[in-house]
Amino acid sequence: LEQLLEEQFEAVVARHERIEPRDWMPEGYRRTLVRQIAQHAHSEIIGMQPEGRWLTRAPSLRRKAVLLAKVQDEAGHGLYLYSACETLGVSRAELTEMLIDGRQKYSSIFNYPTLSYADVGTIGWLVDGAAICNQVPLCRTSYGPYGRAMIRVCKEESFHQRQGYELLMTMMAGTDEQRAMVQESVDRFWWPALMMFGPPDDASPNTARSLAWGIKRNTNDELRQKFVDMTVPQAERLGVTLPDPDLRWDEERGAHDFGQPDWDELTRVISGAGPCNAERIAHRRRAHEDGAWVREAASAFARATKEPGRD
């Protein structure tokens, strides 16, 4: 019977159709999904911190309202993805614990500080732009709840990217100081944004397996290349220089050649030695502890109002 179930699973994946929570699935497939969806959800939640820092410092009510909407969206994306992960039999309480005690990861990009207001624009333009390149193919991922969550996330991510780019366009039409602030911000975020796509394909232990299971639809390098090709003309239109002396258009390839990020830096940041790792986790732990009374009250209320015989 197990062999029949495995063949059915393989056939659904081969037809690029969806595996649903109640379908049989190899334990490795479930584990890989829990790992990736949890990391994705954690990234959205931790990702609120860098930008959240500028909510009280936004230069106008409009900028504050737009940033507030974006940060709230990220929270929603996180909860959406925790719900998708829970269909695989793990609870968000367990996932939060694994994030706080370092047993699960979140995207390296959120371990960099937001030192100027231009960073709010750069994060929208480059970080959410990279996230879009990575998340659009995930709309077609083989696991149903994850792919469906991505459809809504991608629609909101496009607004995030647009508002960031428009913010930078406004600053670039401003004073020399504003233009310098934008360039300095792009210089700090360009390489970390390229690292969001993961290590090079020949150093990625999970890609081959994730492609075979239809979890990933592209390799890390393919999506990185797509992001660079999409972003270079936007940088030219904006009037900023991307800090990569090896960046040039290759007519034959129909794509840009570009330099290699510092992979040792990515390894360091992933292993907890980035500029803001400790701060980000301490903040998340404090928020979790401060919110304990709300969770207890909600559980007490659910118990008190539970209809007899209903779960």
Q: Which stretch binds ligand 3HC (CB under 6 A): 13-21, 43-51, 58-66, 286-294?
A: 43-51
Given 19, 149, 196, 276, the residue binding ligand 3HC (CB under 6 A): 196
Cβ atoms of 100 and 281 within 8 Å: the answer is yes
- Tell which positions 242-271 bind ligand 3HC, by CB under 6 A: 270
Interface with ligand 3HC, residue 163, by CB under 6 A:
no
Phi (first) and psi of residue 257, to 5 degrees: -80, 145
Q: Of the listed pieces 5-13, 127-135, 169-177, 277-285, which binds ligand 3HC according to CB under 6 A?
A: 127-135
Could you give the 3-state DSSP secondary structure of residue 61? helix
The yes or no reply on residue 78 touching ligand 3HC (CB under 6 A) is no
Binding mask 176-195 for ligand 3HC (x = CB under 6 A): -------------------x
Give the separation between CA 228 and CA 245, rounded to whole angstroms. 14
Segment near ligand 3HC (CB under 6 A), from 15-23, 100-108, 256-264, 288-296? 100-108
- Start-to-end CA span in the chain (Å): 32
* Three-class SS state of 287: helix
User: Is residue 187 a contact partner of residue 93, using CB atoms and an 8 Å limit?
Assistant: no
Please say whether the beta carbons of 91 and 85 come within 8 A: no
Q: Which two tokens stand for residue 17?
A: 């159709």
CB of 107 to ligand 3HC, least distance (A): 4
Q: Quick one: which segment of 41-49, 169-177, 279-287, 303-311 binds ligand 3HC (CB under 6 A)?
A: 41-49
Q: Which is nearer to ligand 3HC, 205 or 254 (CB)?
A: 205
In contact, 6 and 27? CB cutoff 8 Å: no
